[in-house]
Chain A
Amino acid sequence: MSAGKKTGSYGLYWRIWFILLIVTLVMVFIDRPTAQALQGSEPMFPQGVLIFILVSAMLLKALLIGSYFMHLRFERVAISLAVLVGLLINGAILFFLIVPDACRILGMTSG
Chain B
Amino acid sequence: MTTQATENMELSRWSGGVCPFDAGWRKVMMWAFIITDGLLFAGFLASYGFARLSTPDWPNQGEIFNLAFIAAMTFVLISSSATMASAVRAAEAGERSRARMYLWLTAVGGLIFLGMQAKEWSTLILEGVALSSNPFGAPGFGAYFYLITGFHGTHVLSGVLILVFTAVRWGKGITQPEGVEMAGLYWHFVDLVWVFIFTLFYLI
Interfacial residues, chain A to chain B (CB-CB below 8 A): 1-2, 5, 7-10, 13-14, 16-17, 20-21, 24-25, 27-28, 31-34, 36-37, 51, 54-55, 57-58, 61-62, 65-66, 68-71, 75-76, 78-79, 82-83, 86-87, 90-91, 94-95, 98-99, 101-103, 105-106, 109-110
Contact = CB atoms under 8 A, between A and B. Distances in A.
Interface of B: 20-24, 27-28, 31, 34-35, 38-39, 42-43, 46, 49-56, 60-62, 65, 67-68, 71, 74-75, 78-79, 81-82, 84-86, 88-89, 92, 177-178, 181, 184-185, 188-189, 191-192, 195-196, 198-200, 203-204
Contacts of B84: 69
Contacts of B196: 58, 62
A45 to B, nearest CB: 12
B204 A54 contact: yes
A102 B23 contact: no
A69 B191 contact: yes
A99 B75 CA distance: 31
A81 B198 CA distance: 25
A1 B185 contact: no
Contacts, number: 159
Contact of B21 (A9, A66, A78, A87): A78
Contacts of B85: 8, 13, 16, 68-69
**Max chain A CB contacts within 10 Å: which of B42, B51, B178, B203?**
B203
Given A69-B85, A105-B54, A1 B79 contact: no
Given A62-B192, A76-B20, 10 more contacts: A14-B82, A16-B82, A31-B67, A33-B61, A51-B204, A57-B199, A69-B184, A75-B23, A86-B38, A87-B39
Contacts of B204: 51, 54-55
Contacts of B62: 32-33, 36-37
A102 B22 contact: no
B195 A9 contact: no
